[in-house]
Amino acid sequence: MQTDFQALLLEREEGIVTITMNRPEVLNALNEVMVAELVEVFDEVAHDESVRCIVLTGAGGSFGAGQDLRSFTQARDASESTKASEHLQQYHRLVYLIQEMPKPVLAAVRGVAAGISANLAFACDMRIASDDARFIEAFSRIGLVPDGGGGYFLPRLVGLGRALEMALLADEVNGVEAERIGLVNRCVPLASFEATTRALARRLAQGPTRSYAFIKELMYKSLDLELQSVLTLEGKLQAMAMQTADHREGVNAFLQKRAPHFEGN
């Protein structure tokens, strides 16, 4: 796996790949280089069977300040033909890669997570936040609409009313409040943030990876299907899960009254 990126740091340990957005001098604001590198990494780890959990985080005390408006404005001014749909194409590809990843993706958020950076966190399967985290749907502050899937993920996480409040008013939501309203799964003190993130990632990496992939498919598709279709999909995926080695190991461990040792198969 490539490691010499311009805007990312990669760490690999015990089946966990930690992807750190690394532009701390601008609070990890996303530019074209970072987005392209994120797409490359997520595409690669999706096909790497040795990777069983992905952690997405930011360097220097912040998750991300959103789109780098300086580079975006320069690119827009340089070409009058630049269209929003073209600009967003790479973001959309990244969102799809995160959603369709056949293994868990955990966003570890400390400090600011604003705009598109926040929406990338919302696209992940789970979110852990430090108590100094600040989530901001900042788009209306500059006369734009939420992009990067924000209009899809936010109402599903916190409900339509709260999502509209966050998007229209663009007020900060701190880590404690984010946990209370369901925006994040856990909010922990900053002092224990890294240790708690590692422990959760390790637990996910030691789980039944293929079962996790089936669970993700069932949950995400159920958001847009009627009951009968969900039950049909449930039966299909359960039949596939029952053929995995991890299912057999789980049953044997239960009968033998021991902890299972899943290998992701």
Residues 145 and 64 in one domain: yes
Give yes or no: residues 105 and 174 share one domain.
Answer: yes
Report how far residue 91's alpha carbon sits from residue 69's, in angstroms, rounded to the nearest whole number. 15
146 and 69 within one domain: yes
User: Is 262 among the domain residues?
Assistant: no
Are 167 and 237 within one domain?
Answer: no
- Report pLDDT for 71: 64
pTM attached to this predicted model: 0.92
3-state secondary structure string, 40-88? HHHHHHHCCCCCCEEEEEECCCCCECCECHHHHHHHHHHCCCCCHHHHH
Contacts of 8 (CB under 8 A, 6+ apart): 19, 20, 21, 22, 34, 37, 38, 41
pLDDT of 88 reads 86
Domain boundary among 205, 220, 237: 205
**Overall number of domains in the chain:** 2
For residues 126 and 46, state if they share a domain.
yes
- CATH code for the domain in which residue 13 is found: 3.90.226.10
Q: Specify whether 116 is located in the same domain as 90.
A: yes
**Number of other residues whose CB lies within 10 A of the CB of residue 34:** 21
pLDDT per residue over 164-216, tens digit each?
A: 999 999 999 999 999 999 999 999 999 999 999 999 999 999 999 999 999 99
For residue 240, give its domain range.
Answer: 209-255
CB 145 within 8 A of CB 156: no
Query: Which among 205, 225, 242 is the end of a domain?
Result: 205
Q: Could you count the other beta carbons within 10 Å of the beta carbon of residue 211?
A: 19
Residue type at position 168? L
Residues 168 and 225 both lie in one domain: no
155 with 135: CB under 8 angstroms? no
Task: Give the residues of the chain that fall short of pLDDT 50.
Answer: 78, 81
Residues 173 and 127 in one domain: yes
Domain-embedded: residue 226: yes
Same domain, 165 and 221: no
